[in-house]
Structure 1
């Protein structure tokens, strides 16, 4: 069996940031990425996706994003940036290597890989993100819906849905952005339990992220106090609020139930719908840790600011609200990676 210092599970932004930090601690990480390239989920997001943070606030440690620092990079730019970063990192990155399980063994861990291979590691960083585990809420009758049910993870562009009646479930950034672009070609309702909460992208000529950085709110360690993450704000330059006000999409409370092809709205009215798109987020994709007992009954990691409270050699990078509001973003994973790798290095030095 091959033995390594630290196995980093996931080769996207979180895994690459973790590998960089581990190298600065004198450790030799092996990055295990299930897909064919170290770019995380970025190549698989919907076609029109752009960052809500400017390029100057969207880079990993040691390598600026490049280009106009005030632009908002497109999905493909982010994927290309991550590939350049991985190449420059010069780490042992193994693509098409899916981890099936992690088990405790002799003070460290044994990783079972797809195909039957096994690997032992003194420490493990779980950086597999959330894209592999889309959240599908329990909505009455949804399983019997005779139209199309699609999660935002599988949505690419609005063209296939032109002229259709579409309901987008959700109230976050992706829900609003997808609903607005669908609203240009289809009749769309944005359906959510709570009203959409907009945040201005620019205030007094400065991007929101400038203010978050200047005030220190971006790094405030609030994650430890949050039992339930707060409702997401939709960062808006004015376009999305205007689209909702114009009714493309219109916004309604979440429907009561689905019967065949029809949805029943809160006011009792019913109508035929062609597609229900679930922009309802994701959950940590950490099923491979189940054999360790490192997860709670909901599949959530048991940790404190990214450090496992069940296994001293296990840590996480890229969890939502892991430590701060930026913990699962390009601008935040580097800070969290540096913190957890210092803890891991100290643990390995003493073991």
Structure 2
């Protein structure tokens, strides 16, 4: 049985940022346990054409700038390369192909078990797995009747397999827009949303919106200071709106149900559909913490700013709106990691 000062679960952006900052906060031996074959979190599994909506200068982890032109918008593969280069610089030990199955308190420490039978102990644990392992698909009437293809954005890679099809992309966020824009070139595509798309100018007054977020401190403002809930917004400099228009991608109100061969729209008309892509986000789950006392009856972490409130020496990094608007982002996880590590005992 191995012992460490700190065990970080997950080697995506959140886990790597946490491991990088751990020595500054008194953790002399850190283990990072990652279920995949290499560091990088969910990034290697995203669709091929994914491009960040934040410039490289605003997409770096603590202690290592993102290489290349700081004003460009990095691609998926560039982010993967960056994260793996970052991992190689760490003093922490990273154990890949190691899936954590349980984390429980044991003799004033944490006992961490993995699916290959190994066990580790640590005085503190940070869960940094995020929510991208749990794609969410709404429970729509008729879902089991539909005989067409159904996939979540997490399983979408490129538009080629959908050539000539009738495709609906359900969702109004950045991923839905990017996927619909490229599908529209090869397939008859519609965006299906419950409300109009919330377009946001990506470069107001010639500056990327993330520059404004940083200089107004909106990016780091504690959530309690935000008087209204931040709506879902799609950042665009006009590129995606033009692509949707050029490819004939229209927006439809959410259908009322699925049928055997398609959907029923609000006005009662039916349409045959080949494929539905659900770009409907993810749900936060920590199955390895079941029985630890850290979760509420609905399986949600009981925490304040990423510090577990029901059990000692347990933290979380990488949760949406964990402490601020930029939590869960490449530019924000380092701040949250530092906050959590400074308070873990």
What residue is the counterpart of 1:14 in the other structure? 14
Using the TM superposition, give the Cα deviation of residue 326 of structure 1 relative to its aligned residue in structure 2, in angstroms. Answer: 0.8
Q: Is the 8 A contact 1:131 1:285 kept in 2?
A: no
What residue is the counterpart of 2:82 in the other structure? 81
Distance 2:185 2:239 in 1: 12
Distance 1:21 1:77 in 2: 23
Using the TM superposition, give the Cα deviation of residue 278 of structure 1 relative to its aligned residue in structure 2, in angstroms. Answer: 0.5
Change (3 A) 1:289 1:125: same
What residue is the counterpart of 1:314 in the other structure? 314
RMSD over aligned CA atoms reads: 1.6
Using the TM superposition, give the Cα deviation of residue 311 of structure 1 relative to its aligned residue in structure 2, in angstroms. Answer: 1.2
Q: Is the 8 A contact 2:17 2:333 kept in 1?
A: yes
What residue is the counterpart of 1:110 in the other structure? 111
Distance 1:297 1:144 in 2: 32
Using the TM superposition, give the Cα deviation of residue 247 of structure 1 relative to its aligned residue in structure 2, in angstroms. Answer: 6.8
Change (3 A) 1:212 1:224: closer
Structure 1 unaligned segments of length 5 or more: list them: none
Which secondary structure does the structure 1 equivalent of 2:330 belong to? coil
1:288 and 2:293 correspond: no
What residue is the counterpart of 1:234 in the other structure? 234
Q: TM-score, normalised by structure 1?
A: 0.94
Which secondary structure does the structure 1 equivalent of 2:144 belong to? helix
1:96 and 2:80 correspond: no
Change (3 A) 1:286 1:147: same
What residue is the counterpart of 2:264 in the other structure? 264
Q: Is the 8 A contact 1:168 1:189 kept in 2?
A: yes
Deviations 1:8-30 (A, max 9, x none): 00001000000111111231210
Structure 2 unaligned segments of length 5 or more: list them: none
What residue is the counterpart of 2:276 in the other structure? 276
Q: Is the 8 A contact 1:46 1:156 kept in 2?
A: yes
Q: Is the 8 A contact 1:55 1:73 kept in 2?
A: yes
Distance 1:224 1:207 in 2: 23
Which secondary structure does the structure 1 equivalent of 2:315 belong to? strand
Deviations 1:33-59 (A, max 9, x none): 100111111111000001100000000
What residue is the counterpart of 2:137 in the other structure? 136
Which secondary structure does the structure 2 equivalent of 1:177 belong to? helix
What residue is the counterpart of 1:3 in the other structure? 3
Distance 1:213 1:224 in 2: 16
Distance 2:150 2:65 in 1: 39
Which secondary structure does the structure 2 equivalent of 1:196 belong to? coil
Distance 1:85 1:287 in 2: 27
Using the TM superposition, give the Cα deviation of residue 300 of structure 1 relative to its aligned residue in structure 2, in angstroms. Answer: 2.1
Using the TM superposition, give the Cα deviation of residue 315 of structure 1 relative to its aligned residue in structure 2, in angstroms. Answer: 0.4
Q: Is the 8 A contact 1:244 1:251 kept in 2?
A: no
Change (3 A) 1:232 1:339: same
Equivalence map 1:156-235=2 (5 Å): 156-222=157-223, 230-235=230-235
Using the TM superposition, give the Cα deviation of residue 174 of structure 1 relative to its aligned residue in structure 2, in angstroms. Answer: 0.4
Which secondary structure does the structure 1 equivalent of 2:271 belong to? strand
Total equivalences in the alignment: 344
Distance 1:154 1:262 in 2: 20
Deviations 1:76-131 (A, max 9, x none): 00000011111111311111111011112122211110122211111110001112
Q: TM-score, normalised by structure 2?
A: 0.96
Q: Is the 8 A contact 1:180 1:248 kept in 2?
A: no
Distance 2:93 2:336 in 1: 21
Using the TM superposition, give the Cα deviation of residue 245 of structure 1 relative to its aligned residue in structure 2, in angstroms. Answer: 4.8
